[in-house]
Structure 1
Amino acid sequence: MDASLQFEIISETFIKPSSPTPPSLRYHKLSLFDQGISPYVLIRVAFFYPNIKGTRWLANEISQLLKSSLSKTLAQYYPFAGRLMKNGYMIDCNDMGAQFTEGRINCRVSEIRKQLSSSSEKMEDLIFARSLFSGPALANHHSLVFVQLSSFNCGGIVLSVSINHRIADASSVSTFMNDWAAIARQTSDIPSPHLHGASLFPPVDGQQFPKPSPPKLNQGKHVKRMLAFHASKIGELKAVALNSGVENPTRFEVVSALLYSCFISAASKANSGSHIRQSIFGHPVNFRQIIVPPLPQNSVGNFFTYFLTSVDNNAEVKLPELINKIREGKTKVCKECTENINAITSKLEASHSAPLTAAIETYNSDFYACSSWCRFPFYGVDFGWEHLRWYTQQPLQGSTC
């Protein structure tokens, strides 16, 4: 990253809900699935608008619109304006608000996008907000939502949002962003998120499940790459699968299988001449519309389970075979979800004592994960100015990722 690029802070504040949260809603219980997420992990997404200068909007107008509409949105998403309690399974909906940072970066939006697509990791630090509080001792002061509005020399802006994963999964973040944008556009639709996770999957009071966590990113060697797959290339991958007997392969199946095969190949070469470890590939699954009865799409919280695919790193596995393995795993978990809603909680509880957990914790297995955001309507987020040109989701950020 260019050392001259810096984020110049203009203002830092907390946006509180436009109306106070009623005393009856002061303490919001998290669900069993929320409990399984580290409280230090954030879901981070940034929205790029490079041509605001060519519209009727002024920078200060955008800032005020975002702040006022966020305030109204938080009145509906009142847990998002609260703070996580020390017991770990409740939110104190005290209306302390969401952190909102506004600043300037002395370059063009296109430069940020280009470097984000390469290995420039510190570029993320420019466009994503940092907590005004630091350290585990102050965790109960941390905002659950961080917003940063960055202005650029070209007149463009980047709006980034970081939300604590313990209160929201990717689907919830998408719903929140679209509701916020709808309020900014002053549509007649008033958002009514379903905050019913704890009633469906009650938390275990006083207990936080020990989740296996991979090594921290700052330990050992690592690189970050953003890969773009042209539609024609994905079509070629699908054709390979079709010609090998795979029926109607999806873009997620072919791309994730390709990545998995590359991981296996790299691990096999790295372990040449030594003990070959098993590799495990994890896939989150949004179960809102899978379980019976289905949940509303605007159910806010963590409503996902996962399935696993495993292969020996020394195995000669071709792309169609990996696609079939991935499909078999998804079909199995979907069947479990549709047969009995309680099967999901049983699966979650079992995952904390299964041999897989021990394998991952001791790092005797290579563990990979692949999550698809293809069907989440992030490109539909419309605040009423320039149409969204590009958005990016950055790797989960926190002490456990």
Structure 2
Amino acid sequence: MILAIATCGAAATEATAQDRSLVLNNQLQLGDVIAGQTLNVEGADDQITVSNAATGNTVSGAVVGGAVEFRNVQHLNANVRATTTPAPGGGEIGGVVNANTQATGNYASAAGYDADVVIDSDQRVGPYEIEAATSITGGTARLLSGGYVNASASANVMALGGQNTHVAGAVHQLNEASVRASNLAETQYIPAQAVFSSTAIANAAGSNGAGASSADLYVGQRSTGDVVVADTSANAGNAWDLSGTAAATANQAVIANAGGSVVARTQQENFSQVSSTAVVTSYDYGVARAAAQGSGNAVSVGNDDRYLQLDNSQISTGGVEVRATFAGTNGYDAYVSAEAVGNTVTGYACADCQATMNITNSQINEGAVSATANMTINNGGRAAIIGTNAVGNAANFYVSRPNGGN
């Protein structure tokens, strides 16, 4: 059985009676895509859930017990914006606030179950803006049960994988847009856990194989937009457990496999400025956390079986700047961390399986990489832990047991 669903300005799906079914998808989006939500829910006792998404082109397909070739072309030449205001007038909310805001240029997914999947994908975003933003302003909101608020922006996304499935082919992603995710919270009182996060990724490709799966993939990613920015500012007068996180990455490729072999070739080029900032403030606090991460190029390829082959090439020139800050007056525990890397690659295989790894790796970083962490506590506290890590090129290759032991 084959299922394919496409949404965009133009799409086509075709199946043949040959040994391998064929799905053809061609999408072009030229007009801006904008989604906005504003909730005025003061006094609500139960949970508040907000899901807000804007997407230029999207397609998904799956095959069960057969074989499919998926040829995908998605081009976006327009702006994509999603904005959410969960509590515009402040006031008191009794239930948990769950808000997710997502802006995506091109999205594609293909999955197999006891099947073979062949992929040939080309995703491109022109020199426009991909932006996701969420905001709670005014400084008077009282979130009595806390909340989990996220803003994420991506130019190109490809998701592959399945169960007992072989995935093979090529994924090409080009981004020329600026990608921005921002999350602003100005609150008065949060007597529960609250997490505010932002994630910005220009190009993201992933493959996850479960069971007796295998992969033979090429992933090529290039980002030339001006900036890739994640910005979180979480603020409260009194917060019991407050976290603000931000993560920005130009190119990201993740391949994880549970069985069979993995053969992967990854090529990443980043010319965009990457910036990640997390700011947390609370006059009175129990636990406060500010964590920011940023990377130009990131690759992770792993196999919990016997064979892994990886040929990795990364070039980053745009620079990476990461900042994390906490400021408070009276409280207990505060944690601040900032991590920045120009290029990073990780490869791993199964130790109990007597695995073989063949690795070829080339990394060139020409941009500045900086990680800065600041903490200000006026009246002292119980714990104050701060850490920074800035690396131009990082490579880690190892064998481990499937349960996580070495």
Q: TM-score range by the shorter chain?
A: under 0.3
Query: In proportion to residue count, which structure has more strand?
Result: 2
Query: In proportion to residue count, which structure has more helix?
Result: 1
Q: TM-score, normalised by structure 2?
A: 0.22
